Every structure is written in structure tokens, then in C-alpha cells.
Amino acid sequence: MTAAGAWIGSPPPVGQQVAAYVVGIVGVLFAGVGPLLLGGLEATHRLSATQLGEAGTVELLAMGIGAGLAGAVFGSRHLRVIAVVCGLLLAALNVATTRVSGDMLTLVRGLAGLPSGIMIWLVTGLIVRSPRPERGAGLYLTVQTLAQLVMVAAITAFVIGPFGVNGGFLALAAVGLVSAIVGVAVPPSYAPLPATDNPRGLPGARGWVALAATFCFQAFILAAWIYVEPLSRQSGHAAGTAGLAISLSLGAQVAGGTLATIAAGRIAWLWALVGSLIGMIVLLGVFATLPSTVVFLAASAAFGFLWIFSAPYLTPMAIEADPTRRAAILGPGASLLGCGAGPFLASLVVTDSDVRGSLYLAAGIAVICAVIVAALHLTRPRVDAIG
């Protein structure tokens, strides 16, 4: 058993750690840029409205599958080859996106999700082996949010106008090539995780329960947040309010991730996670009242802050539930599957005239998440507890 506050294996040099983060950030970049580019494809009639939703969901689910299965397929060796190949594949599939439409485009985006997920798995392997996984997770979430903001702003300002939506995918392809080059510098391998009685190296029962909490966490957030624009319209706000709410939320997410990174090791993960869940449930109630513009914007910023502040604490939760850290390795896969499932479930409980059903559904899933998190901690074997 590896003690808390110590690396599993020898710590990689700083340059190799930075390279792993860069590869992981490129892997998750489409999650932030996707709505802009997929919306552009729908506007140019290369995707129908239905296919737009399908393409986004399929890519997120494929990312989750890639992140979840990579460890079982690749182990923890030959990481540089894996990083380079995934960067090249991602670049090629982004180029291929410019040549297709309709269902074929959905297929290509689904295929693009697989190398993206593997790239996320690569940086996750570094984070869960570090002395303070919640600090690494907070840093990753903060920098990826900043990278998505920069990429969206750059594509909007310099690419879409002169080159159209295809230019956006070519820009992503160029970033994929950069990640392939950087992939040469990632750690060549990771130290093995602690031994497990499971011959397939899968988590135990408590680890799977922790993954269920991670799934619920992202599912409830995306179930609500995907409807921020129609919710603003239903509240009677002026045009552009939803866009401002999203921008304020993204800024608050950066602040939340930064605070989580700084506070790593100083705040018990249980209270950070459960307290944030309670706060977000209250904010869902605020959204359900169809509040004024000022209250809506403030609630959006607070929701974004709590979302990214609390997300890094899912990693120590998973490690406490499964000290072999195999559940933590699978955490991003569970998160991405939750991101895909949340909007789908919400689509079943909304109507064209009232989207508040998504908020009630999200609140219910959030309560389930909070109960699972608290139950895992309260029933932990004391000898395995990591704090």
C-alpha cells in the first residue's frame, strides 16, 4: 500500500509531467469547442438538429470508453508511442470531419472520441500516482478550461470568418499534431499500481460504487447545464443573457479549479464534495424559480465555481474507496459517460414550453450522488482510510 503524500514509483521529471498534461488537455479540448463547431455544421446543413445531438453524445461516450478501457488494453508501458499515435489519429480524424456530412460525420466524431479518451487516460495515470491527486486533478481541470476558452475565442475571432467551420476542425487537427510532437516527451511508462486480488486488475465493489458517484456527478450537472439557453429564454431574459451566463460560469470555473488546486491537502474531500453538492442543489432550485437576469447570472457563476471546485475531490474519494487506485484511473471514463447520459435523460423530461424538468431530474441525481459519497466514507474500512 502506498502512503498518502508519496508518489507511486519514481516521480517523472517535470518536463515529462508537463508533456503528459499537454496531451491530456488536447484530448479533452473538443468538449469545450464542440458546441461551437457542431452548431456551425448544423447551420451549414451538414448535420440536422437531431444529428447534432447524436454527434456530440457519441463523441463523449467514445471518449469515456477510450478513457475507461485504455488501461486494460495498453497497461502502463509504451506511453510515448501511444501518445504520438493518438495525436496523429486525432489530427487525421479532425481533417476527415471536413470531408463528410450527416451520419458519416457522426461516425467520424465517434471515432475521434477514442484517441481523445486515451489521451485523457494518459494524464490520469500521472495524476493518480501523484502525492496529492486532488491537486493534480484541480490543475488539470483549471488549465483545460482555460485552454478551451482560448481555443473558442481564437476560432471565433480568427478562423470561422475567413475559413468557415472546416477551418475550426483544421485548427483542432493542427493542435493534434502538436500533441503528437509533445507526446515524444511524456513519461515512457508508469509504475504498476498496488496489487489487487482481481486477475483483470479491475476495482473492487467499493470502487465501482465510487465510479457510480462520479457518473452521477457529471450526469446531474450536464442534465441541467445543457438547457441553460432555453431556461434563460423561459425566464424572460434578453437575448444574449445565456451567452453571458456561460462566460461568467467559465470564468468562475477557472477560479474554482484554482482554489481546489491551492486547497489540496488542506480541505477534507468529503466536506468539499458534499458541501458543493448541497450548494449546487440549492442553485438548481434558484434556476427553477425562473429568476431575474441578475440572479440568473449570479447563480450561473456560483454553479460553475462549485462544479469545478468540487470535481477534483472525486479523485481522493475514489482512492479512499479503492486504495489500489484502479477506480481513480477509470474516473474520467465514468465522468464522460455521465456527460453523455445526463443530457439524454434530461431530454426525456422537458417540453418545448418548459425545460425545468431537467432541473428536477438533475437535483434528484445530485441527491443520489451525495448519498453515495457520504455512505462510502462512513462505511470505509478504517485501515484503508486515506483521510
Which DSSP string do the residues of 128-181 spell out, in sequence order?
HTSS-HHHHHHHHHHHHHHHHHHHHHHIIIIIHHHHHHHHHHHHHHHHHHHHHH
Is 49 in a helix, a strand, or coil?
helix
Q: Looking at residue 351, what is its pLDDT? A: 84
Mean pLDDT over 76-88 rounds to: 96
Taking 80 as the threshold, does the pLDDT of residue 387 lie above it?
no
DSSP character string of 298-366: HHHHHHHHHHHHHGGGHHHHHHHH-TTSHHHHHHHHHHHHHHHHHHHHHHTS--SS--THHHHHHHHHH
pLDDT over 50 (residue 382):
yes
Q: Assess whether pLDDT exceeds 60 at residue 91.
A: yes
Of 51-55, 111-115, 256-260, minimum mean pLDDT range: 51-55
Which one is predicted more confidently, 176 or 268? 176
Using only the alpha carbons of the chain, give its radius of gyration.
20
The answer to whether 325 touches 312, Cβ cutoff 8 Å, is no
pTM for the whole structure = 0.83
CA distances from 74 to 87, 122, 283, 385 (A): 16, 10, 41, 29
| 199 vs 138: which has the higher pLDDT | 138
pLDDT average, residue stretch 67-74? 90
Question: Residue range 253-264: average pLDDT?
Answer: 90
What pLDDT is attached to residue 35? 74
Residue 385's pLDDT band (cuts 50, 70, 90): very low
Region 73-101 average pLDDT: 96
Q: What is the pLDDT of residue 352?
A: 80
With beta carbons less than 8 A apart as the criterion, state whether 93 and 200 touch. no
* 86-95, 183-192, 319-328, 358-367: least confidently modelled range: 319-328
Percentage of the chain lying above the pLDDT 90 cut: 60
Band of residue 201 on the pLDDT scale cut at 50, 70, 90: low
CB-based contact 222:347 (threshold 8 Å): no
Decide if pLDDT at 52 tops 80.
no
* Average pLDDT estimate for 296-315: 95
Average pLDDT score over residue span 212-224: 94
- Please state, in angstroms and rounded to a whole number, the distance separating the CA atoms of residues 56 and 54: 6
Say what the pLDDT of residue 193 is.
81
Average pLDDT over residues 11-23: 97
CB 214 within 8 A of CB 331: yes
CA distance 323 to 185: 29
Give 361-367 contacts, CB < 8 A, sequence gap 24+.
361/220, 361/223, 362/220, 362/221, 362/223, 362/224, 362/284, 363/220, 363/281, 363/284, 363/285, 364/220, 365/216, 365/219, 365/220, 365/223, 366/216, 366/217, 366/220, 366/277, 366/280, 366/281, 366/284, 367/281
Nine-digit cell string for 79? 506511453
What is the rounded average pLDDT for all residues in the chain?
89
pLDDT band at 183 (very low <50, low <70, confident <90, very high): very high
**How sure is the predictor about 348, in pLDDT bands with cuts at 50, 70 and 90?**
confident
Lowest mean pLDDT among 15-24, 121-130, 200-209, 250-259: 200-209
Statement: residue 300 has pLDDT above 70: yes
Least confident of 53-57, 289-293, 351-355: 53-57
Looking at residues 99-115, what average pLDDT do you find?
95
59-68, 117-126, 299-308: segment of lowest average pLDDT: 59-68
Question: Residue range 113-129: average pLDDT?
Answer: 95
Alpha-carbon distance values, 247 to 139, 168, 250, 310 (Å) = 20, 20, 5, 19
Distances, alpha carbon 329 to alpha carbons 251, 279, 315, in Å:
28, 27, 9
User: What pLDDT is attached to residue 200?
Assistant: 53
